Chains A and B, each alone.
Chain A
Amino acid sequence: MEKIPVVELKNLTKRFPGVIANEDVNLTLFEGEVLALLGENGAGKSTLMNMLVGLYRPDEGEIFIKGKKVDISSPQDSMALGVGMIHQEFMLVGNLSVAENIVLGLPDLEIRPPFAKINKKLIELGKQYDLNIDPTSIIDNLTVGEQQRVEILKLLYRGANILILDEPTAVLTPGESKELNKIIKKMLSEGKSAIFISHKMNEVLEFSDRVQILRKGKSVGTRETSTITKLQDIAKLMVGRDVLFSLEKGEYNPGDIKVEIKDVSIEYKKSVRPLLNHINLQVRAGEIVGIAGVAGNGQQALSEAITGLRKITSGSININNKDMSNKTPIQIINMRVSHIPADRNKMGIVGDMSVGENLSMKKYRTEELSHHNIINKALIKIFANKLINTFTIKTPTQYTNAKFLSGGNIQKTILAREIDSCKGILIAVYPSRGLDVGATETVRMSIIKQRDNGTAILLVSEELEELQMVCDKIAVMFEGRIMDIMDTKDATTEKIGLLMAGVERGEM
């Protein structure tokens, strides 16, 4: 069979304020093949595909469909060209039937849609592709896997030839994933093509004919799946290994156990697997334990369980040798546990309050800043100015609302507050995410300084070089489990990359 490119992306670039989401990306999809887009969170996979379906407009570059240059400015345009996308979040109306959902929003729909005819066509299509969906059933009564098949059916009904699937297996059980794989293979045999977004390597090998790897918005390589012999090569491409700078660090001299997590699980009724699956972990005074993993594999749930923001279903969490399982956030804070939360704007600061007030949000309740429940504004002023100077927070005044600061300075504000109030334990989640080189370095150095002062630190990060540079030990999480814990000197990029992608140690 001669290969005809059905989609060609040429030199696509997309910038968002402050970041380049995609830079100069080329991509070719041939008829009858599955192309896997592999990359970490934030590598630009979804942005790239959103440009292909008209949700974003590229700043530069051209899109060709079946050899013809096209201008796609809306999902309707892409659908007319036969390109359809299944997003991570399904776009279905829960209390309508399958058939109603599928025809919803069609431009040429009659006022009273001829459902008998529509249902017949849907059943035929379903048979053709082994989708096995009853068009009259109500969406809310279907499993997640079935809902996904409805999304596929919807695209097929609307005449899509090129299907884009954004992390389709993230919500599926292993059995459902196999099913999906069969459906995709069937579609290929009918002359359709697919792009498959994923960050799991095993899956990519199973599903795709070719793999294209994105890192930090750029395409870093394409491989025929059949020629991949060593997963390590792909892992290296995906996570990169360019260590930018090294940081000075005192000698590793661990003390008492400050945080001990014993067999902790969190069951979550909305997901197919537990958020945390029998986690065991210890953090000692004067050491930094890093948690590696692709976002969404339980790292945030773990940090929230320790800080009292999320209830655990079993196991126990000991802080300073006291059982602190399922205590309230204030009880944990009173143990002098500091927390740099994952989402700095949503959890870390109150944007509509001043920088000074944000800096005081831990200590306003102490005698240091208030007396007899009355807040002393003069003390806050002095306190805030002191922290603004020590942490070199760039802000017009301490009375400026925090939301007007840059990401780096917002993070410095949080860091200043948490480190100032910290006595012994620090939980830092993605502390340098999205920051520029300078701010990143400040954050990392502050954390190391705390460790040298004897603080027990748990550092969750997506960036391997950060973990390798900063941590004493690295644990890797995948689907709510800790795959392995190792000393940093044994934690090679390849090894962590494989563990992050769910490859068990025995399979390496």
Chain B
Amino acid sequence: MRFVIEKRNERSKRMQILVPLVSLVISALLGSIVLLFCNANPLQTYAAIINGAFSSPMRFQYTIAKMIPLLMCGLSVGIAFRLRFWNIGAEGQYVMGVIGITWVMQFWTWLPAPLLLPIGILMSFVFGGIWGGIPGALKANWKVDETLVTLMMNYIAIGIAEYLYISAWKAPKGNMGTVKYPEVAWIGRMWGKIHYGVIIVLILVVVLYFVLYKTRWGFELNMIGKNSEAARCQGVSIKRNIIIAMLISGGIAGLGGGINSAAVTHCLTSGVNSGYGFTGIIVAWMSGLNPFISVLVAIFLAALQTGSDALQITMNLPSSMSGVLQGLILLPLLAGNIFIDHRLKIVNKKEVI
């Protein structure tokens, strides 16, 4: 007896719903094994995570505040992934966005105060866009592998940021970090820790949905992603679209950085590479590149992060456990996707196919 994977005649609707659910259960089970090794009761731990993320208004606000940059990065990566352009550089594009806004805040002081924030936000989009556009142009013109370039450019961006906040742009006081942005240029708070950035990101979700699903350009991106050769035969320029998509993808990640620093950190300092760009990949992938579903996934992952931060205190677990549990979520999902287009068949050994 052996197993054979067979192609289905059409995409299974049932599996499209079942796969994420079942893989979530499997990742919880896998997580339990890890937790048992650390002498923690899995049920208690998962309960503590949910508590840590939602049990008080403050915790809920904290989760939502974390969700904002995460969702930005998820949307950013999602655009590139539509074209099968594997942008794993949202982290660096996010950092460049923070550098962009900090530049405006620190050096464009001649601007009238009310313009600082909008110009700063715009600059974060531009910086992120350039950081995304470079690998886009390299891939479009010379077929340079985007995975390597975007990955490496993360570390370049982080290196530049470090140089700036440790040395070049360092505030006179303290041993790292730039001067705080002028208070008039901060993004205000709506409810506790939740700031007005949440409105921006939700508008972005709606706009992106519209652009990707209703416009000619969205139609072209869809064609390229699903069959670039056919798209080319229909007159769609692959080069141009890769570059435009990467400018926007990088721009949105940069915007995430700009908004988060204008609303939360108010400066460029250590911890700017907080991993939102990498977790954004999970957001994009789990949501099936759909902007609306991305919102739910981003909340879920943000909750997992805030929740597991609490584990350190309540369960006495190392803080890196959060990363372990997150990583375990993606694996079963990616592996399970095969069942949407394929089915498993058991055949007897004697039978010849």
Contact = CB atoms under 8 A, between A and B. Distances in A.
A364 B235 contact: no
Contact of B232 (A329, A373, A404): A329
Nearest to B213: A375
Contact of A364 (B11, B216, B230, B237): B216
B173 interface: no
A86 to B, nearest CB: 27
A341 interface: yes
Nearest to A57: B352
A365 interface: yes
A329 B233 contact: yes
Interface stretch (B41-49, B152-160, B220-228): B220-228
Contacts of B234: 329, 333, 361-362
Given A375-B214, A401-B11, A347 B223 contact: no
Interface in A319-348: 328-330, 332-334, 339, 341, 346-348
B10 interface: yes
A346 B217 contact: no
A307 B352 CA distance: 45
Contact of A351 (B217, B218, B227, B233): B227
Interface SS of chain B: helix
A307 B217 CA distance: 22
Given A357-B219, A375-B215, A350 B232 contact: no
A375 B219 contact: yes
A374 B230 contact: no
B215 A346 contact: no
Nearest to A357: B219
B235 A346 contact: no
Contact of A404 (B9, B227, B230): B9
Choose among A341, A347, A357 the residue with the greatest number of B CB atoms under 10 Å from its CB: A347
A353 interface: yes
Nearest to A334: B235
B214 A374 contact: yes
Given A309-B233, A333-B235, A341-B233, A401 B219 contact: no
Interface string B223-254: 10011011111111100000000000000000
Contacts of B235: 328-330, 332-334, 362
A370 to B, nearest CB: 6
A350 B223 contact: yes
Contact of A353 (B216, B222, B236): B222
A346 B230 contact: yes
B182 to A, nearest CB: 39
A341 B235 CA distance: 13
Contacts of A339: 233
A57 B353 CA distance: 9
A352 interface: yes
Given A330-B235, A373-B216, A346 B227 contact: yes
Contacts of A334: 235
Contacts of B219: 357, 364, 375
B207 to A, nearest CB: 13
Contacts of B236: 330
Choose among B218, B233, B352 the residue with the greatest number of A CB atoms under 10 Å from its CB: B233
B227 A352 contact: yes
Interface string B324-338: 000000000000000
A347 B215 contact: no
A334 B235 CA distance: 9
Nearest to A376: B214
B215 to A, nearest CB: 5
A352 B232 CA distance: 16
Contact of B216 (A333, A350, A362, A365): A365
Nearest to B11: A401
Nearest to A380: B219
A349 interface: yes
A347 B234 CA distance: 9
Contacts of A351: 226-227
A318 B217 CA distance: 30
24 contacts: A309-B233, A328-B237, A329-B232, A329-B234, A329-B235, A330-B236, A332-B235, A346-B227, A348-B230, A349-B227, A350-B222, A350-B227, A351-B227, A361-B230, A364-B216, A364-B219, A370-B216, A373-B215, A373-B216, A374-B214, A375-B214, A375-B215, A400-B10, A404-B9
By Cβ-Cβ distance, the 4 closest A-B pairs, closest first, are A330-B235, A333-B235, A350-B227, A352-B226
Given A329-B235, A350-B230, 4 more contacts: A329-B233, A350-B226, A362-B234, A362-B235
